[in-house]
């Protein structure tokens, strides 16, 4: 038999086997189509891409991160969360308003408690976040927990490192979880210095070969700080000098981002998330876990907070569901800021339905993204939204990295999740949902302030763009389930 024919037959058999695996293991129809196209029409490379980046860990449940192994205690805790949250929902029905369905969804899905008695502070850019973080770290007396996607070995990174070393030597428990991909610059010197001082630091996943590691698709994108179980920070700002705009030179891009500080019981679920992740990446058992949950104080500012978290270990895409539910609750206005907009069909349909129903929908995205492929894919969605009356604004002052949503000056979301498939299914993410008209008004004001540095897309002009611009965007859209 002709050797070339044998090779062709063997290759065809391999392609068939890989396609069967893709179909059986991939839950999303859009992702299945994309992987199949790559496997069939991009010889060898398409199949390698799937094995490196497309293995479905959601089915494999690799992430065993229970804080409580005792099922009875766990059930008792979940029952108490349901009871307390139901009571809070009734007592604060006015503050929660139309958000009751969103509260209940998060309770039913992952027992995320609804808490009141919180003080929530909006922090714009690193200029506002880092002074607050440093002040809070200096006051730590029992423990400091940090979990970050990007922790840089730079000026602000070393300033925080030095403070952590000082607190560790004072006897404060210091724990750091860092993503081994995003925080690769601290692997050696910074991490070693922390450990030598008595702090503990672990990568969420240890990556040996960065390019070939299939777990690059499962990044820990969270940015969490918890101090003494009394205050917490969460949002889009990593530990990096790039977020300190006043210290940047003229050639450095302006980074616009948003973070929040939570004082009160609202940060307890952030603590829960951190400790579960710590168990997973450190292999340790948390003894006497109650000491990390009994230090919160009730504050005069009676703000409602609930946390939405998800990752490949989640049975459903919790954050995507929370976006969908919140969009469906809107009666007047939806304001969305996201640096990466590859929404998928469900989010697209929800936004279009809202706009057609008379809700004012405004979307703020970067004028220039840090990824040309992602930017092209995002642009492919704009025409469908513009046709239904959605207003789209391109931020021109620099790179907008904030991830926020405001619904009807009643509900505000601030967190780490972008509005894309990677955040919904592939990364470990966390968002804070704040039920407060006053706080929602603050985030809304920040949104409209950002519009001063943005240009609105004119639907007629967008429709007239030449084919040479539209065609690459449509091609990039074919890969959007994988981006």
Q: Annotated catalytic residue: which of 145, 180, 401, 420?
A: 401
| CA–CA distance, 405 with 282 (Å, rounded to integer) | 34
Contacts of 392 (CB under 8 A, 6+ apart): 362, 363, 365, 382, 385, 386, 456, 457
Whether 325 is a known active-site residue: answer: no
Are the C-beta atoms of 173 and 142 separated by less than 8 Å?
yes
| CA–CA distance, 97 with 108 (Å, rounded to integer) | 19
Whether 360 is a known active-site residue: answer: no
Whether 401 is a known active-site residue: answer: yes
CA–chain centroid gap for 474, Å, is 26
Q: Annotated catalytic residue: which of 153, 241, 408, 450?
A: 408
Are the C-beta atoms of 270 and 232 separated by less than 8 Å?
yes
Whether 332 is a known active-site residue: answer: no
Strand partners, 393: 364, 456
Helices of type H across 357-399: 372-387
Give the Å distances, CA to CA, from 311 to 7, 30, 318: 40, 19, 8
* Element holding 443 (H helix, E strand): helix 437-451
Q: Annotated catalytic residue: which of 223, 259, 272, 362?
A: 223
Whether 241 is a known active-site residue: answer: no
Phi, psi of 47 (to 5 degrees): -70, -40
Backbone φ/ψ region at 171: left (φ over 0), alpha (ψ -120 to 50), beta: left
| CA–CA distance, 433 with 326 (Å, rounded to integer) | 10
Query: Which three-class secondary structure state does DSSP give residue 449?
Result: helix
| CA–CA distance, 61 with 435 (Å, rounded to integer) | 32
Q: Annotated catalytic residue: which of 221, 259, 272, 362?
A: 221
Are the C-beta atoms of 402 and 122 separated by less than 8 Å?
no
Q: Annotated catalytic residue: which of 21, 129, 259, 403?
A: 403
Q: Annotated catalytic residue: which of 228, 241, 277, 420?
A: 228
The residues annotated with a catalytic role in the active site are 221, 223, 228, 401, 403, 408
């Amino acid at each position: 038999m002709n050797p070339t024919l044998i090779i062709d037959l063997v290759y065809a058999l391999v392609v068939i086997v890989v396609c069967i695996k893709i179909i059986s293991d991939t839950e999303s129809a859009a992702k299945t189509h994309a992987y199949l196209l790559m496997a069939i029409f991009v010889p060898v490379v398409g199949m390698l891409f799937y094995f490196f980046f497309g293995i479905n860990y959601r089915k494999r449940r690799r992430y065993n991160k229970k804080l409580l192994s005792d099922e009875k205690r766990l059930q008792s805790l979940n029952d108490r969360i349901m009871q307390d949250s139901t009571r809070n929902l009734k007592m604060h029905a006015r503050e929660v308003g139309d958000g009751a369905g969103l509260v209940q969804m998060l309770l039913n899905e992952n027992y995320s408690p609804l808490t009141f008695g919180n003080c929530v502070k909006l922090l714009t850019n690193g200029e506002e976040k880092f002074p607050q973080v440093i002040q809070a770290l200096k006051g730590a007396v029992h423990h400091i927990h940090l979990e970050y996607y990007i922790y840089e070995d730079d000026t602000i990174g070393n300033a925080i490192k030095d403070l952590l070393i000082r607190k560790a030597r004072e006897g404060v428990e210091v724990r750091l979880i860092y993503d081994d991909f995003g925080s690769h610059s601290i692997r050696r010197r910074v991490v070693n210095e922390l450990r030598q001082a008595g702090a503990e630091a672990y990568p969420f996943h240890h990556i040996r070969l960065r390019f070939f590691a299939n777990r690059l698709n499962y990044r820990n994108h969270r940015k969490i700080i918890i101090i003494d179980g009394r205050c917490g920070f969460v949002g889009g700002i990593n530990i990096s000098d790039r977020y300190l705009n006043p210290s940047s030179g003229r050639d450095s891009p302006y980074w616009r981002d948003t973070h929040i500080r939570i004082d009160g019981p609202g940060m307890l679920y952030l603590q829960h998330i951190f400790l579960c992740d710590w168990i997973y990446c450190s292999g340790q058992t948390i003894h006497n876990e109650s000491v990390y949950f009994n230090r919160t104080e009730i504050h005069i500012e009676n703000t409602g907070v609930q946390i939405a978290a998800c990752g490949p270990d989640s049975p459903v895409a919790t954050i995507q569901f929370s976006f969908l539910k919140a969009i469906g609750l809107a009666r007047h206005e939806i304001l969305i800021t996201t640096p990466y907009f590859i929404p998928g069909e469900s989010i697209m349909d929800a936004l279009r339905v809202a706009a057609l129903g008379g809700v004012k929908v405004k979307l703020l995205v970067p004028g220039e993204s840090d990824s040309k492929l992602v930017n092209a894919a995002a642009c492919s969605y704009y025409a469908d939204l513009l046709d239904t009356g959605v207003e789209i604004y391109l931020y021109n002052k620099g790179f907008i990295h904030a991830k926020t949503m405001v619904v009807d000056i009643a509900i505000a979301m601030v967190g780490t999740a972008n509005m894309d498939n990677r955040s919904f299914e592939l990364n470990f993410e966390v968002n804070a949902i704040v039920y407060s008209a006053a706080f929602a008004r603050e985030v809304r004001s920040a949104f409209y302030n950002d519009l001063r540095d943005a240009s609105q897309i004119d639907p007629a002009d967008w429709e007239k763009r030449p084919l040479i611009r539209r065609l690459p965007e449509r091609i990039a859209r074919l890969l959007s389930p994988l981006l």
